[in-house]
Each structure stands twice: as structure tokens, then as C-alpha cells.
């Protein structure tokens, strides 16, 4: 079935209420911490209080003698059992052909601790309190060493080395684009706009903290790892093949209800391995649930780029070339996907929505004594969009053009479009998004609102951002060529029951995105059922055949497409059964609205009759047909999907206090065919809140001297709240994706990608009369006030 026929099916585009919300809203969800296997013990981690320190010794004796303690483990125990380090899933090759530096990432520190929060020991006790008390008795002899936390320090000659394997802290130098062509274009430019910027480090804060239960069954020699995770099969593969050396079939990974992830639950973490490993040593189930302050130290952080960009334009404001250099902070160790974020997921997006003929991007990635950095909602694409959309607005101001006008002059208008940085966009209508955004945002009324703000002593500004992202990760052949150490297909199994209801097993994982509803809509639409007749199962390697999980807004476009493939097989087999029932050739059978008909006759049978016949095969052509109606498909996409849109933000700034208030925010997105507009709207709202949060409030700060995490709790790290936002104005344009059978483009990250530059551009527009030309995120009152004072000075 083609994407255009699919879009016309019943339930597609319907705002079906989320099936999963009944259990969530009535307290019937089953999160990892709700699960208490018989005999559960509790783990507490002893974490380094130093950003960098030699570990001279770990004295476990007092902890081992404490009440209730049944085990204390440190790096030496890990080494003795030959448990490997945590692997990195993406190999980046430097421009000189050498592989990235890949120092070992032990699950419990060996010899050195490399960031505040690094795991040094694990205490297991009968109760959580006993484990906590005993953890205080583990006596670690640390010898503090100098620490580097900022890339600007890490890259200095003579900086303290985080790893012996990378004495200059350099992990890799990577580049994309044609430097010579870019230099030539700059030589002939009428105007060059330059910009230095920092993309601030963020701490992901899912509502449910990470949680793990490790269990071992002596009778079967099998492990069960229950973990708040976004991709249980990937977790199992990494754990078994790369770290513990176990056969995959002896480990079952269950990710039950998961309360948000935003990327931070993609990875194989040290805690997951420690609990699995120790559950066999102690022959007891072990549970660990992260504390909120502990999560600030131990969950992979996001962003943290320092960049310089230059945009060359001709006399008419047409972009000639873009040149970017980025220093990316990877933290102390390479987290699972960390190395792909500032390269593949970032630099390849720097063409944006524009027909810039030449783009050259160079990335240096550095180790620092900080928590590892990895993908966080958007992963690389927010960093690309922030840089590009900031420099485009700056260029517009320098040329005296309206922000939207310069964008219009440079939009790509013909598809497919091959960018100079590897990606090929299949569809889009960037003018339509911008036009609709201008209309919804009532840009025509901006000057009047600005005058009204002025009467209150406030400065009003307007900011644009026209983002594009690549999601639906990923064509395995492209990902493999770019260094991925895994395939990125998805798997779906459709099991039709004898009574015609359906259970679907998907390798995608829902942790807030509503898959139980939208995937059911897709299956119901295809089979002529209601969404209530379809159940979606995910998050269990023991039930789902295989899966690559959820991140990169891939689930509907890749996971949904795998289900569509399985449905194609179901339909083909069901037609054969229907043909047998109606004594016709299956080539003459059509299927629509849950009914099989024979072309040119009035014969018909229902999907329910066919399902029953599949399992009650009396009088069945067994030589031609197997009983049963159960099909599995794997789908590997041929391209990414390219959601795009224009966001417009309007702010009021109080020049006396530096306080910024977002007064209006308009987001017009193109997600191709939309399955459930209500869920999509919720996804956009969530993304916007995270993006605007980064622009105005959230900031992860390390002390540059001591390496201590200064923003280690919600007292210092400002999470956005509902009253920080206006009611969002949303609009949609639809150019269906041409490379998947649903026509969908991912929507889960768009808001977080498109919004930060819109906000900062709006603040800069408001402050322009005061001479403020630059501002880094977050535009906190203090920072805005300082910028105003410096401009005055």
C-alpha cells in the first residue's frame, strides 16, 4: 500500500485518546521500581567526590561488616571477573585516517576516577538504608589530580590528561564538505557574517529516574535485567556480546513502563552491568533506583559545543558557503552513541533548509573530567539548528533585511535535494511553513505590539528559526559507512488471534510517546478493526523478536514501517485464505475496510472469518497454506525522514531586570502524514518546553577550577514550569515522506530542535536598540542584564 492510500484510511489523522493513559493516570503503571522480586536486595554506588583522582586503595572491610550487607564490589573485583568496559557504538575516524581514541570505560573505576560521580564501588545490602549506611563506610584513598571540565581548557597544550591513551585529551578530528570550494566561495563573497557561540550543556531529567533490577536464575543459568531503558535489545546485545561475554539467549532484558527518557535511557550504563553481574555472584535479585541528585552526576548529559561559524553571502543575500569549526565536549568516557552526536547527527544538518552550495564543517572532540555526554532530545540537530539559525538572523540584521526575507531568498525549493554535507532531502515545502507561521504569529501586528510594550517600559523582539532535522535513524548501509557498529532497522510482528483481534510486537519502545495508541491506529486502519482490538507489546527481549529501540524520532517511520511490512504479509496470506473460502483466485481478491471481496462478484468474507479459518483449518488446502496468521518483518529505511518547519518567538524583555518573558510562540511543522494529531501536538509541546528551557533557564555548570558540578540539583538547575510559557500556536504543512510506506516524518524532537534559536533571536531583536549583538544560552535575567550593561559601557 502506498503512502497516499494509507493516509486516507480510517483512524489515520484521528485524535484517538491515548490507550495507555488509563493505567498511567490511575496509578496502575508498572515501572521498574514498582517491581519487587522475592528476596530483592538493594544496591548503592560509592561515587567519586573528585573530578579527577588516583585511587590508591579501596578498603571494603568496614562496609562488609555492616548490618545487612551481603556484598561490596570495586574495580578490582570487576577486573578479576574479566568484565569488560562499556562499549561505544559508533567509530569515528579522524581526518588523518586514524581511529578515534577509545579508552576503556570500566563499570567500576580502576586506578583513577575521572569525573565527580564516577562509580568507584557498589554496596549490596538487604535494605536500601543498610546499603546507604554501609556505602559511607567504604574507605577510598583518593589522591586528587588536576581536572579539566571545559573544552577551552581541555584543548590547551599542557592541560591535565583525562586518559593516558589521549595525552592531549583529543578524541578525534572529523570533517565533512569541500574545504577548498568553501574557501574559494568566501574569497568571492560580498559579505561575510561571523559568529562565536556556545551550545550549553544540559542535564536530562526524565520524570522517572533510571532504575535497574538484576536477577539470576541458577536453575536455568539465565539472567533477567529489568531496566528503565529505551532499547532493550540493544542493551542486551551490548551487555552480552561486548561486556559480559554471555550468550544472548541467556539474558532477557525487560524495559517495562518507562517514565520518559529523552535520550538518557538509550545507553548501556555501568549500573546495568554491575547489577546483572553481581546478581549471579550473590544469587539474589538486586535493585538500584537512581536518586535525583545522583542522576545529575550519572545520567549522560547533552549538548556542550563551542563553535565558530562564518557565512559567505553575495550582494543579493544569497548564501555562497558556510564554514564551521566546533569543539565538542564528550565528557570523561565515550557513552554509547556519543561520538556520532557532534559529527553524523550534527554536521550533516548544517545545510539546513537552504540551498547553500558549499558547506565545510570541522569537529574536534575532547575528553574532559565531566559526566559523559551523549544524545539528548534532538542530539546534534539542535546544536546544528542553533548555530545555523543564529547566523542566518545575524546576517539578516547585518544586511538590513527582515529575518524571514533572508530565509526566503535561500530556501531549497526543488526536491529531491542533495546537500553538500551528505544528506538528500526527499520532500518539503519551506515557503509554506514560513508563510503559515507568519500568518499564525500575526507578524503584521508585531510593530503595534512592540509599541504597546514600550509604553510599559519593555522591549519586544521577534525571532525566527527555520529548522530541518534528519530522523528515522537510519539506513543501515549509510550508518555503517559512517561508523555505526550496529544496523538500524526495525522489527515488527503481527499476531492475528482466532477471534480477529491482534497483538503486535514491536522493537520500538514507548516511554511517553503514545505508541500503544498510534501503532494500534495504524494496524486497525489496515485491517479494518478499531484501535481497541489491537494491543501493542514492546520492551521485552523475551517477547519481541528483535528491535533497535526508540531514539532519533524513528519509531513511527521505521518501527511503524516494519509493522506495515508485516501487515503486507498478513494481507497476502489472508487473501489466500479468503480466496479459498470464496472459491476464487487470490489474484482476484481485494481487501478494504476489513472485508475481502472477489472482483466483479458480490462475494465477500470478513477479516474475522478469515482469522478464524486460519486457526480452524477444517477443509483447508494444507498443501498450499499453513494454518495460523502471524507474520514478522524487518524494515531498513532507504533514507532518513526530514521534518522541517518555521518557528516564531516573540519576547518581552525588561531592561531594568533582564527578565525575559515569552509572550507568543508559533510553531509550524511538516511531519508528513500525521497518524494522531493530538499525540503529535503533545510531542511538539514537550519539545518546545525543552528547547525554550535550554534557551532561557537550563544550564549545567561545572566549576572550572575544581571540576565540581555546581548545578547538581533542582535548586541550581532551573527546570521549566508551565507558567514560563504562553499557550503555543501550532500549525502544520504536509509533504508526505516519499521513502516510507506511511508518509510520516518523525515529530518527537522537532520542538527541542527548532525553538532555541527562535528564542535567542527574539531576545537579540528586542535588545538591538541597546546595542546588544550577542548572547549565549540560557538568556537568564543575570546574563541579559550583564549584556545590557556591557553594551552601555
Report residue 208 as a C-alpha cell.
522517572
Report residue 309 as a C-alpha cell.
561559524
Q: How far is CA 53 from CA 50, 146, 610, in A?
A: 6, 8, 68
Cβ proximity to ligand MCN: between 392 and 680 the closer is 680
**Residues near ligand MCN (CB under 6 A):** 206, 260-263, 377, 511-515, 518, 550-557, 671-676, 679-680, 683, 686, 744-749
Contacts of 97 (CB under 8 A, 6+ apart): none
Cβ proximity to ligand MCN: between 313 and 668 the closer is 668
Cβ proximity to ligand MCN: between 204 and 500 the closer is 204
Rounded least distance, CB 573 to ligand MCN, Å: 26
Helix (H, G, I), strand (E, B) or coil at 123: strand
Cβ proximity to ligand MCN: between 130 and 744 the closer is 744
- Map grid coordinates 482466532 to a residue: 498
User: Do residues 284 and 39 make contact, with C-beta atoms less than 8 angstroms apart?
Assistant: yes
Rounded least distance, CB 422 to ligand MCN, Å: 21
Cβ proximity to ligand MCN: between 106 and 686 the closer is 686
Helix (H, G, I), strand (E, B) or coil at 10: coil
Rounded CA Rg of the chain: 27
Cβ proximity to ligand MCN: between 367 and 519 the closer is 519
Cβ proximity to ligand MCN: between 327 and 469 the closer is 469
Q: How far is CA 488 from CA 380, 549, 550, 636, 639, in A?
A: 18, 9, 11, 7, 11
Query: Which among 88, 106, 104 is positioned nearest to 164, based on CA atoms?
Result: 104
Report residue 420 as a C-alpha cell.
553538500
Rounded least distance, CB 637 to ligand MCN, Å: 12
User: Do residues 647 and 467 make contact, with C-beta atoms less than 8 angstroms apart?
Assistant: yes
Rounded least distance, CB 105 to ligand MCN, Å: 23
Cβ proximity to ligand MCN: between 539 and 746 the closer is 746
Helix (H, G, I), strand (E, B) or coil at 345: coil
Which backbone phi and psi does 246 adopt, to 5 degrees? -105, 155
Rounded least distance, CB 467 to ligand MCN, Å: 14
Cβ proximity to ligand MCN: between 195 and 753 the closer is 753
Cβ proximity to ligand MCN: between 385 and 597 the closer is 385
Max CA pair span of the chain: 92
Q: Which residue number is nearest to ligand MCN in terms of Cβ?
A: 512
Cβ proximity to ligand MCN: between 377 and 390 the closer is 377
Contacts of 703 (CB under 8 A, 6+ apart): 149, 709, 710
Rounded least distance, CB 504 to ligand MCN, Å: 13
Query: Which among 144, 124, 151 is positioned nearest to 50, based on CA atoms?
Result: 144
Cβ proximity to ligand MCN: between 19 and 377 the closer is 377
Rounded least distance, CB 602 to ligand MCN, Å: 37
Strand 319-329 to 358-366 pairing: parallel
Query: Which among 466, 482, 552 is positioned nearest to 176, based on CA atoms?
Result: 482
Rounded least distance, CB 679 to ligand MCN, Å: 5
Rounded least distance, CB 313 to ligand MCN, Å: 34
Rounded least distance, CB 382 to ligand MCN, Å: 11
Query: Which among 423, 338, 332 is positioned nearest to 739, based on CA atoms?
Result: 423
Rounded least distance, CB 375 to ligand MCN, Å: 8
Rounded least distance, CB 507 to ligand MCN, Å: 11
Rounded least distance, CB 229 to ligand MCN, Å: 12
Contacts of 64 (CB under 8 A, 6+ apart): 72, 134
First to last CA, the chain: 65
Rounded least distance, CB 469 to ligand MCN, Å: 10
Cβ proximity to ligand MCN: between 130 and 735 the closer is 735
Cβ proximity to ligand MCN: between 260 and 608 the closer is 260
What does the alpha-carbon distance between residue 687 and residue 680 come to, in Å, rounded to a whole number?
11
* DSSP per residue, 369-387: SS--B---TTTTHHHHHHH
Q: Find the helix packing angle between 781-792 and 750-767, rounded to 10°.
A: 30
Per-residue H/E/C for 34-60? HCCCCCCEEEEEEECCCCCEEEEEEEC
Cβ burial, residue 147 (10 Å; 0-12/13-18/19+): buried
Amino acid at each position: 500500500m502506498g503512502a497516499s492510500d494509507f493516509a486516507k484510511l480510517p483512524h489515520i489523522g484521528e485524535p484517538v485518546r491515548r490507550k495507555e493513559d488509563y493505567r498511567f493516570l490511575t496509578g496502575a503503571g508498572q515501572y521498574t521500581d514498582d517491581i519487587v522480586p522475592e528476596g530483592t536486595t538493594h544496591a548503592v554506588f560509592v561515587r567519586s567526590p573528585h573530578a579527577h583522582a588516583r585511587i590508591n586503595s579501596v578498603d571494603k572491610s568496614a562496609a562488609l561488616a555492616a548490618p545487612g550487607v551481603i556484598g561490596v564490589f570495586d574495580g578490582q573485583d570487576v577486573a578479576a571477573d574479566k568484565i569488560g568496559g562499556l562499549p561505544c557504538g559508533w567509530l569515528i575516524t579522524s581526518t588523518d585516517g586514524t581511529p578515534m581514541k577509545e579508552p576503556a570505560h570500566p563499570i567500576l573505576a580502576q586506578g583513577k576516577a575521572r569525573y565527580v560521580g564516577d562509580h568507584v564501588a557498589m554496596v549490596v545490602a538487604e535494605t536500601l538504608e543498610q546499603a546507604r549506611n554501609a556505602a559511607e563506610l567504604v574507605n577510598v584513598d583518593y589522591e586528587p589530580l588536576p581536572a579539566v571540565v571545559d573544552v577551552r581548557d581541555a584543548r590547551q597544550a599542557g592541560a591535565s590528561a583525562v586518559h593516558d591513551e589521549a595525552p592531549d585529551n583529543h578524541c578525534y578530528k572529523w570533517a565533512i564538505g569541500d574545504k577548498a570550494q568553501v574557501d574559494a566561495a568566501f574569497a568571492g563573497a560580498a559579505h561575510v557574517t561571523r559568529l562565536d557561540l556556545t551550545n550549553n550543556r544540559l542535564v536530562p531529567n526524565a520524570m522517572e529516574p533510571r532504575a535497574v533490577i538484576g536477577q539470576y536464575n541458577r536453575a536455568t543459568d539465565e539472567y533477567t535485567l529489568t531496566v528503565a531503558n529505551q532499547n532493550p535489545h540493544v542493551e542486551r546485545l551490548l551487555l552480552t556480546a561486548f561486556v559480559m561475554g554471555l550468550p544472548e539467549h541467556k539474558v532477557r532484558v525487560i524495559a517495562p513502563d518507562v517514565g520518559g527518557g529523552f535520550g538518557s535511557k538509550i545507553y548501556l550504563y555501568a549500573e546495568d552491568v554491575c547489577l546483572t553481574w553481581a546478581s549471579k555472584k550473590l544469587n539474589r535479585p538486586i535493585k538500584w533506583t537512581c536518586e535525583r541528585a545522583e542522576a545529575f552526576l550519572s545520567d549522560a548529559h547533552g549538548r556542550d559545543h563551542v563553535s565558530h561559524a562564518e557565512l559567505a553571502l553575495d550582494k543579493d543575500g544569497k548564501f555562497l558557503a558556510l564554514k564551521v569549526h566546533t569543539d565538542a565536549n564528550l565528557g570523561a568516557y565515550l557513552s554509547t552513541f556519543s561520538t556520532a552526536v557532534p559529527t553524523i547527527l550534527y554536521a550533516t544538518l548544517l545545510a539546513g533548509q537552504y540551498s547553500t552550495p558549499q558547506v565545510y564543517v570541522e569537529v574536534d572532540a575532547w575528553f574532559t573530567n565531566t559526566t559523559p555526554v551523549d544524545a539528548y532530545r534532538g542530539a546534534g540537530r539542535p546544536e546544528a539548528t542553533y548555530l545555523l539559525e543564529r547566523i542566518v538572523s545575524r546576517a539578516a540584521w547585518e544586511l538590513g533585511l527582515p529575518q524571514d526575507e533572508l530565509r526566503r531568498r535561500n530556501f531549497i525549493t526543488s526536491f529531491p535535494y542533495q546537500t553538500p554535507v551528505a544528506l538528500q532531502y526527499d520532500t518539503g515545502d519551506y515557503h509554506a511553513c514560513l508563510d503559515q507561521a507568519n500568518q499564525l504569529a500575526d507578524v503584521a501586528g508585531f510593530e503595534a505590539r512592540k509599541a504597546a510594550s514600550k509604553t510599559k517600559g519593555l522591549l519586544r523582539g521577534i525571532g525566527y528559526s527555520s529548522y530541518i532535522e534528519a530522523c528515522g535513524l537510519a539506513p543501515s548501509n549509510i550508518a555503517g559507512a559512517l561508523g555505526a557498529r550496529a544496523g538500524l532497522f526495525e522489527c515488527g510482528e503481527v499476531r492475528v488471534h482466532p477471534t480477529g483481534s491482534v497483538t503486535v510486537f514491536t522493537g520500538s519502545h514507548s516511554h511517553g510517546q503514545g505508541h500503544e495508541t498510534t501503532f494500534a491506529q495504524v494496524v486497525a486502519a489496515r485491517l479494518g478493526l478499531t484501535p481497541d482490538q489491537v494491543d501493542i507489546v514492546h520492551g521485552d527481549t523475551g517477547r519481541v523478536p528483535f528491535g533497535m529501540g526508540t531514539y532519533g524520532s524513528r519509531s513511527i517511520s521505521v518501527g511503524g514501517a516494519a509493522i506495515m511490512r508485516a501487515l503486507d504479509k498478513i494481507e497476502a496470506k489472508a487473501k489466500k485464505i479468503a480466496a479459498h473460502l470464496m472459491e476464487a483466485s487470490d489474484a482476484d481478491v481485494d481487501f478494504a475496510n476489513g472485508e475481502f471481496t472477489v472482483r466483479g462478484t458480490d462475494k465477500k468474507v470478513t477479516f474475522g472469518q478469515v482469522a478464524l479459518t486460519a486457526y480452524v483449518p477444517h477443509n483447508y488446502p494444507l498443501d498450499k497454506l499453513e494454518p495460523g496468521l502471524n507474520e514478522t518483518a524487518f524494515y531498513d529505511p532507504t533514507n532518513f525522514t526530514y521534518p522541517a518547519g518555521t518557528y516564531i518567538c516573540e519576547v518581552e524583555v525588561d531592561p531594568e531586570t533582564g527578565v525575559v518573558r515569552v509572550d507568543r510562540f508559533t510553531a509550524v511543522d511538516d511531519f508528513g502524514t500525521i497518524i494522531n494529531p493530538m499525540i503529535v501536538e503533545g510531542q511538539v509541546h514537550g519539545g518546545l518546553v525543552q528547547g525554550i528551557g535550554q534557551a532561557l533557564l537550563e544550564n549545567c555548570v561545572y566549576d572550572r577550577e575544581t571540576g565540581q558540578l555546581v548545578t547538581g540539583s533542582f535548586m541550581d538547575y532551573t527546570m521549566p514550569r508551565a507558567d514560563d510559557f504562553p499557550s503555543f500556536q501550532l500549525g502544520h504543512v504536509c509533504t508526505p515522506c516519499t521513502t516510507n510506506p506511511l508518509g510520516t516524518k518523525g515529530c518527537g524532537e522537532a520542538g527541542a530542535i527548532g525553538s532555541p534559536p527562535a528564542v535567542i533571536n527574539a531576545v537579540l531583536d528586542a535588545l538591538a536598540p541597546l546595542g546588544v549583538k550577542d548572547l549565549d544560552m540560557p538568556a537568564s535575567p543575570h546574563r541579559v542584564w550583564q549584556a545590557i550593561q556591557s553594551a552601555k559601557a
